[in-house]
Structure 1
Amino acid sequence: MQSFRTELENPLVEKDILDLARKIELFRDGKIHEEKFRSLRLARGVYGQRQQGVQMVRIKLPYGKMTFKQWKRIADISDEYSIGNLHLTTRQDVQIHFVSLDRTPELWAQLEQDDITLREACGNTVRNVTASITSGIDTQEPFDVTPYADAIFRYFLRNPICQEMGRKIKIAISNSDADTALTYIHDFGLIPKVLDGKRGFKVVVGGGLGAQPMLAYTAFEFLEENQVIPYMEAALRVFDRHGERNSRHKARLKFLIQKIGFDKFVELVNAETIAIKNKTFEIPTTGFSETEIEGYLPTQTASTIAPETEEYKTWLQSNVFAQKQEGYFGVYVRILNGNISSNTSRSLIEQLDGYVANDVRVSINQGLMLRFVPEANIPYIYEVLKAHDLASPGANSIANITACPGTDTCNLAISDSTNITSKLEAVISEDFPDLIYNNDIKIKISGCMNSCGQHGMANIGFHGSSLKSADKRVLPALQVLLGGGTVGNGVGRVADKVIKVPSKRGPEVLRVLLNNYEENATEGEYFNDYYDRQGEKYFYSLLKPVADLTTLKDDDFIDWGASEQFATEIGVGECAGVMIDLVATLLFESEEKLEWTLNAFNENRVADSIYHAYSVFVSAAKALLLDKSVNVSTQNAVIEKFDEHFVAKGEITIAQSSFKELVLQINQNEPSVDFATSYIAEAKAFLALAKAYREQTVEA
């Protein structure tokens, strides 16, 4: 691998990137186990693709914000390191595909020159913090949630409590009770409230989609703003210690709560509060408004005359809204499948810069939003978008379908989710043009049951699957789901699985559903209300003729966008963690964690040093348990099983009565310098003890 210079001002970021480069070299030399290396690169935004030998790189954009300079940087990097495409995701990230692993450190270094990170965009970490894209400009919001999203992102980035959890953590912040960030499907969700003149949030916890969707529990109807981060920190400590680590299918926070019960979860969280870094955390709210950011507001006034066309009027009515700041407007931009080329991006940047705010937001439905557009500039913005084929109306309507990348690049995808999107959108525009204004119905598609396209909470959802014909041939299929969606204020609905149909009949499914709805719904009846009135069995019977496999044609065995006969080719997914099962690797990790412990302590990051020391105990103990072929699935089990297999049997002697008593001092003490000093010394001594024991067993 060629060496490179990072030329970065932040030494922490520079160390991170150089460490990735060093670990890639060690992996290439066979000195790092493949599973360990996978975990490491995922935490740095580098994700394996369906295609061998190339990577998807996920760029982490807190609350979806890009300046024009950042957007251009990403576009240029996509040209240099990828294929010139930017994929906008449902978590407000940007992904670029087909990147060489060896070039990822220099790619990251270039991004960081404009304050863009890959760190913890993937892996078993706190992922991107998403937020309503109208935050700060919405007439219905109690206050701007942007500073809170930003503070949460920064607080947990590189935080030792959430670097190696059993699974990922997703956080969303909605800016009003409309819940446009979909808090109810997240591990942590926040909705702003004002009580007795004080700012705070309704907090929901433990939501998630995937193959087994669960709606979030309400943790607090109102939690003061300075308690939000302390609560999350305590809850993450519980998840880190008690969360599943072996079975990826049971490793999300929702499963931990399901397993132990919500009341027990609350009890464990409360028990952690003595040891958290901050009992309160004041979130700075200055520096985020349009008047506080230099060069934020537009400086140019266009002279374009508004066209007198129905097309323009439809776009204006469905894609433009008045902000709470008088005289300014927000503009939604539809992006098919979330894919926008680097050339288009640069052209838009050149023509939009100065005419809108220097703040472009990626939306959770894979589009863009332009902010602070002066009324005089709206016709000009329309003409610019139209010239780039980006002036389609209905940005928040049924016509704008959300879809994950599916079989284009994802290892887990079963059948196509992108090519069919254009076919379904054509059904809306050609057969149901009046629905361009319908913001009630949301259609979402995923390539598999894992719900990256959020099909599990769609009014009309599809996920990739397969079927077998009478002659045992496999054909691509779609599972149809109905009745999901957002209720509001942290409450949602999970869609019902209704029926499975051949993929090529997806457009017909949509026609049948919408015709039935238009013909039989009462005046003003929402789709979900109509679904509830008729019931799941009614819709199963309605769609059963479309699912008939006795009328299959040869074309049904070829997926959308494909030319060859369909075959299920599912790889190994990387959204979840991997178990490190090599004793030597775990002991090496323990030494590395001890180094992090000492560095943090020397830098006066006392709480961080204590948590790193805790990780030393757990990692070293797990290594010795694995050496005895004792498999454990949580950190808490590591602690208990170590007592059972080593301390109780006298194989290892420690000063305390039990290993549990030694390690869980972390819960019983404030993060003081005195406690850190003694706890770190005990961790160092235990690691030495573990290494000596391992050496004796190897020699024996």
Structure 2
Amino acid sequence: MQSFRTEIENPVVERDIIELEKKISLFRTGQIDEEKFRSLRLARGIYGQRQPGVQMIRIKLPYGKVTSEQLHRICKVSDEYSTGRLHITTRQDIQIHYVSLDRTPALWAELDKDDVTIREACGNTVRNITASETAGVDPREPFDVTPYADAAFRYMLRNPVGQEMGRKFKISFSSSEEDTALSYLHDLGFIAQIREENGTKVRGFKVLLGGGLGSQPRHADVVYEFLPTDQLIPFIEAVVRVFDRHGERAKRMKARMKFLISGIGLEAFMQLVEEEKTALPFKTYPIDHETYEKAQTLPNPPSVEVAEPTDESYLKWRKTNVFPQKQPGFYTLGIRVPLGDFRTDVARKLADLVKTYANNEIRFTLRQNIIIRDVKESLIAFFYQELKKLNMAAFGYNTTGDITACPGTDTCNLGIASSTGAAVVLEELIANEYPQYLYNSDLTIKISGCMNACGQHNMASIGFQGMSIKAGKLVLPALQVLLGGATLGGGQGIFADKVIKIPSKRGPEALRALLDDYEEHAQAEEAFHEYYQRLGQMYFYELLKPLSSTDNLAPYDFVDWGNEEEYVKAIGVGECAGVVIDLVATLLLEAEEKLSLAQESLAEKKWSDGIYHTYAAMVNAAKAILTSESINTNSYASIISSFDEHLVSSGKVSLGSTLSDIVYQIKTNEPTEAFAQNYLEDARRVFSGINAFREKEVNA
């Protein structure tokens, strides 16, 4: 037994880490199929890189919050197991790269010392729950959404209903109608609301369902104008259960929840949610926000005598990076982090700074930046002085020149063209030629290295998507230009239109053309998306058309941004959203493991967890046989119906009933001890019947 195990205080985490170590060993010795192992490690935040033999580790930080102690712990891990570089994602996570797979259990154990997890940071799970970074200090918020986001995170973490879905599932919490957490592009988005009932103010959420980006973005539907907070957790679980059962599992590009809703319709989906309520362990789930809120005290840091600067750099920074909080006398400071990348030596000093002079926390933002909260007005100049020493005092926070970009071809398997290289060049162009846009927070520029939209390019005013184009027999890096996206507030947004493809090296020319035309032709106070809608898609196609020609290419055009070698299109296997085809033996082994997990849950009196493990065991066992018979298994619901049609009705497998009748008891029974025990016994009989059929087939 490795020594790191003895240092893990949380037995649940210890079991997770030991299980990961065990599965790595089985994979190394060829006892687990590579595709199935990929699914398991992704659910533990371990993601394959473009570079062979190393992993990217995604650290899950709910709503982007990290304490000084946690940031120090993350720095220690990055220095010891990686390269000392930290990357902030658009989902408020931290990623570190170039980690050996065999060292990931020890890395996880190290993170757990300060209650930091990598569990369910990748894979087909409920991903990191995001929230407005200013939640709790936002002057416009009805209430602080932080304790509700935290409750949702803790409830869904390791929850059996969200471990092996057809695709990832994303949830956000916006602090106000400004919708800074972008509810309209999430599977589930929540916007804080207050309603008065009988003279009492009641908390709740506007609820949006079924949004998403990617190659086919979908605007979420408003399903509740007001959902009381005690219904938040039951609703989330019911929705995830429906998605888990009916979501596509074979066709990766059609497996997000938005496609399920588009396919069966919103009304039918909500009916399935309603039908799921009987099986839920909680009909109401009150969330204790008062304890959290009472614990939120304002800091009383030591005084520091620093003369307020009068130079232009400070005045610019004060104008764009300093924001008053709802707490009188306190301010939030925005820190631009180019491309979301910073190093551990800087992070450590930042952690010490907020521990001594602020409120011992920072929050990572949806635009790959950092905010420091609860800074006394008298210390703003001091913070500027200290941030300047760390090279973190650039002005223009959350403005046009503060470009969002995914890692692209730097490390991601799916990257087609360099997003980070393009972002660097475009930020320099804005700073040097259009400095006025470092004060504009309405016009946004975002870049993704592929269609999956990790850089959120298709909701930006000006978006660029990495791709490739052909020029005769040659291939060169290119950018798809998208225009007109916007977040309107109140759960409303506009997705950008695809306008034209251009060689990547012409990105700066395209941006110049767009900004020059906007300066010349926009009407007074007209936002970029309004200007785009007024003039229309074809106007901008014609504006940029000269840049799309491949008749006048130079050698320069065949070298992508940030590279020296000629471009080669090289796309690996996408993992984060991948759906894998499982081997029959692996599926049967998993079914057995889930029966064991069910028994453990029942021993701990976790009836609902045990029931869901039991349900998953039966579905996995049925899927194994259908896979061996080459029968389609594209959703859990279709697995159950296909098993009855092809195996039970034909008499090949005898269960004493249909699989549907046995499995779907989960929908019609409350999660009591009696039902949980009986359901597990039924599942054991199902597994025995399926196993007997399998052994007969193998030995025939």
**TM-score using structure 1 length:** 0.98
Q: Is the 8 A contact 1:593 1:616 kept in 2?
A: yes
Give the drift of 1:6: 4.5
Give the drift of 1:353: 2.8
Corresponding residue of 2:337: 335
Give the drift of 1:293: 5.0
Corresponding residue of 2:504: 503
Corresponding residue of 2:219: 215
Matches within 5 A, 1:677-692: 677-692=677-692
Corresponding residue of 2:495: 494
Give the drift of 1:302: 1.9
Distance 1:503 1:629 in 2: 44
Distance 1:496 1:427 in 2: 24
Q: Is the 8 A contact 2:36 2:582 kept in 1?
A: no
Give the drift of 1:397: 0.9
Q: Secondary structure at the match of 1:423?
A: helix
Matches within 5 A, 1:84-95: 84-95=84-95
Corresponding residue of 2:427: 425
Choose the corresponding residue for 2:308, options 306, 309, 315. Answer: 306
Matches within 5 A, 1:96-245: 96-196=96-196, 197-245=201-249
Give the drift of 1:198: 1.0
Corresponding residue of 1:45: 45
Give the drift of 1:577: 3.4
Residues 483 and 6 of structure 1: CA distance in aligned 2, closer, same or farther (over 3 Å): farther
Corresponding residue of 2:556: 555
Distance 2:495 2:565 in 1: 35
1:265-299 superposed Cα distances (whole Å, 9 cap, x missing partner): 0111111111111111111103433x6158x7252
Q: Is the 8 A contact 1:245 1:634 kept in 2?
A: yes
Runs of 4+ more than 6 Å apart: none
Distance 2:582 2:45 in 1: 23
Matches within 5 A, 1:313-392: 313-392=315-394
Give the drift of 1:304: 1.2
- Name the stretch that deviates more: 182-191 or 417-426: 417-426
Distance 2:481 2:112 in 1: 42
Give the drift of 1:356: 1.4
Distance 2:6 2:441 in 1: 46
1:324-368 superposed Cα distances (whole Å, 9 cap, x missing partner): 001100000000000000111112223443111111000000000
Choose the corresponding residue for 1:255, options 250, 254, 259. Answer: 259
Distance 1:533 1:301 in 2: 53
Give the drift of 1:387: 1.4
**2:284 maps to 1:280:** yes
Distance 1:17 1:646 in 2: 38
Distance 2:292 2:92 in 1: 19
Distance 1:642 1:6 in 2: 45
Q: Which runs of 5+ in 2 are unaligned?
A: none
Corresponding residue of 1:264: 268
Give the drift of 1:631: 2.0
Corresponding residue of 2:587: 586
Matches within 5 A, 1:516-665: 516-656=517-657, 658-665=658-665
Q: Secondary structure at the match of 1:549?
A: coil
Give the drift of 1:383: 1.1
Distance 2:604 2:30 in 1: 33
Give the drift of 1:674: 1.2
Q: Is the 8 A contact 2:354 2:372 kept in 1?
A: no
Q: Is the 8 A contact 1:302 1:355 kept in 2?
A: no
Distance 1:6 1:305 in 2: 51
Distance 1:480 1:404 in 2: 16
Distance 2:339 2:239 in 1: 35
Q: Secondary structure at the match of 2:270?
A: helix
Q: Is the 8 A contact 2:170 2:187 kept in 1?
A: yes
Distance 1:57 1:277 in 2: 33
**2:445 maps to 1:443:** yes
**TM-score using structure 2 length:** 0.98
Number of aligned positions between the proteins: 696
1:71-128 superposed Cα distances (whole Å, 9 cap, x missing partner): 1111111110001100000000000000000000000000000000000000110000
Give the drift of 1:680: 0.8
Matches within 5 A, 1:394-413: 394-413=396-415
Distance 1:566 1:260 in 2: 43
Alignment-mate amino acid for residue 468 of structure 2: S
**2:295 maps to 1:292:** yes
Q: Is the 8 A contact 1:484 1:492 kept in 2?
A: yes
Distance 2:304 2:68 in 1: 19
Distance 2:7 2:296 in 1: 26
Distance 2:2 2:670 in 1: 46
Distance 1:335 1:193 in 2: 32
Residues 305 and 15 of structure 1: CA distance in aligned 2, closer, same or farther (over 3 Å): same
Matched-pair identity in % = 53
Matches within 5 A, 1:477-492: 477-492=478-493
Q: Secondary structure at the match of 1:448?
A: coil
Distance 2:347 2:299 in 1: 20
Q: Secondary structure at the match of 1:633?
A: coil
Q: Secondary structure at the match of 1:27?
A: helix
Distance 1:257 1:166 in 2: 14
Q: Secondary structure at the match of 2:572?
A: coil
Give the drift of 1:626: 1.5
Distance 2:182 2:621 in 1: 40
Give the drift of 1:4: 3.5
Distance 2:388 2:292 in 1: 31
Alignment-mate amino acid for residue 587 of structure 1: L
Alignment-mate amino acid for residue 40 of structure 1: L
Q: Is the 8 A contact 1:186 1:207 kept in 2?
A: yes
Distance 2:427 2:291 in 1: 40
- Name the stretch that deviates more: 139-148 or 503-512: 503-512
Distance 1:392 1:579 in 2: 44
Choose the corresponding residue for 2:467, options 458, 465, 479. Answer: 465
Alignment-mate amino acid for residue 75 of structure 2: A
Distance 1:626 1:418 in 2: 41
Give me the CA root mean square deviation.
1.2
Give the drift of 1:655: 2.7
Q: Is the 8 A contact 1:36 1:578 kept in 2?
A: no
